[in-house]
Copies of this chain bind each other. A is one copy, B any other.
Amino acid sequence: MPIGEFDLIAQYFAGLTPDRDDIRLGIGDDAAVVSVPPGQELVIAVDTLVAGVHFPAGTDPRAIGHKALAVNLSDLAAMGAEPAWALLALTLPEADEAWLAAFAAGFGRLARDSEIALIGGDTTRGPLSVTVTVHGRVPEGQALTRSGARPGDAIYISGGLGAAAAALASSDSPADSEARQACRARLDYPEPRLALGQALCGLASAAIDISDGLLADLGHLCRSSSAGAEIDVDAVPRHPALTQLVTGDDVAWYDWPLAGGDDYELCFTVSGEKEPKINMLTETLGIALTRIGRITAGEGLVLQHADGGGYQAHGKGYQHFAPQS
């Protein structure tokens, strides 16, 4: 099978991603043609996963297919966008049919769950790498951004953090316990918070997805908002699987949730008068939403323990969140 003929590769995806009424022309021409309804804006993101960098060589191709789409959908979630269309640029050392079928299955399952259609792509021969471009829609002017946080806004986190970092730290060992398997699943099959992102439009003042680690990403949000933040490091929600592996005496208890990355939860800010609505969201969406601190008028992040004591940082991600010079 020649590589480079995306219409052939696309056969592996046939029927795996949804049809949509807004697609005038899908895979098989020089480009796809789509329509955007009046009153809607388009949200566009691209992310690349490289073998040996973003996933270990030998990772289940189903997981690679899932994650390549998931990390992009997570960007749409952080903008409050509803997924619409994806394009896939796949670079493969060889055309391995079993690999492609498993990759397509992982990609396709998440695509169906997210109602995002594959409308085009490219296939090239080379070192394994996957670039996905995603398109979503938001009502005009309603996209969530990183730049809207104001001093006094509360900072929230969805779900629990640190499990993917735990899996990364032990990726050479077998997942020999239920907790380790749960951590591995978080690393391989992140679930983008799409419903939450859309629900936060009009509620959150700013949002970002946690891909590089909470502190790094909250640092981005603060810089974009020209603000600082105070964080209660004990309030940061740990993923249940993490709490089975490490305790508060372990440096990883702080490092992995704060700096580990690969969580793909949302970090968002909310002004005081809108906080009651956040509590309602927890119920309607069934997602834990935990307040971990507040935006300040300062620069950079101040980390404290619940008892008010300062927190000493150890983890790898910490150089990211120093105030920018």
Total interface residues on A, CB under 8 Å, equals: 63
Chain B contacts of A120 at CB under 8 A?
44-46
Contact A126 B127 (CB under 8 A): yes
With contacts A24-B143, A29-B146, A224-B28 taken as known, whether A125 is within 8 angstroms of B50 at the C-beta atoms is yes
Which candidate, A74-82, A162-170, A178-186, is the interface stretch facing chain B? Answer: A74-82
Contact B138 A33 (CB under 8 A): yes
Contact B87 A133 (CB under 8 A): yes
Chain B contacts of A134 at CB under 8 A?
31
Contact A89 B125 (CB under 8 A): no
Contact B124 A53 (CB under 8 A): yes
Of A28, A75, A89, A136, most B-chain CB atoms within 10 Å:
A89
With contacts A25-B143, A33-B43 taken as known, whether A52 is within 8 angstroms of B87 at the C-beta atoms is no
Chain B contacts of A146 at CB under 8 A?
28-30
Contact A44 B87 (CB under 8 A): yes
Stoichiometry, copies per complex = 2
* A214 interface residue (CB < 8 Å to B): no
* A158 interface residue (CB < 8 Å to B): no
* A34 interface residue (CB < 8 Å to B): yes
* A38 interface residue (CB < 8 Å to B): yes
Contact B42 A79 (CB under 8 A): no
Contact A24 B48 (CB under 8 A): no
Contact B30 A78 (CB under 8 A): yes
Contact B33 A79 (CB under 8 A): yes
Contact B125 A31 (CB under 8 A): no
Q: Which of B34, B51, B54, B124 contacts A48 (CB 8 A)?
A: B124
Chain B contacts of A29 at CB under 8 A?
79, 145-147, 224
Q: Smallest distance from the beta carbon of A125 to chain B beta carbons, Å?
A: 6
Given contact pairs A35-B42, A35-B140, A46-B89, a sample of 10 additional A-B residue pairs in the complex whose CB atoms are under 8 Å apart: A24-B141, A30-B75, A30-B146, A30-B209, A32-B43, A35-B41, A46-B88, A46-B120, A48-B124, A50-B124
Instruction: Name 21 interchain pairs, CB-CB below 8 A, sorted by A.
Output: A24-B141, A25-B143, A29-B146, A30-B78, A30-B79, A30-B146, A31-B44, A31-B45, A31-B78, A31-B134, A33-B41, A33-B42, A33-B138, A33-B143, A46-B122, A46-B133, A48-B122, A48-B131, A49-B124, A53-B124, A122-B131
Residues of chain A touching chain B, judged by Cβ–Cβ distance below 8 Å, are 4, 24-25, 28-36, 38, 41-54, 75-76, 78-79, 81, 85, 87-89, 91, 119-122, 124-127, 129, 131, 133-136, 138, 140-141, 143, 145-147, 207-209, 212, 224
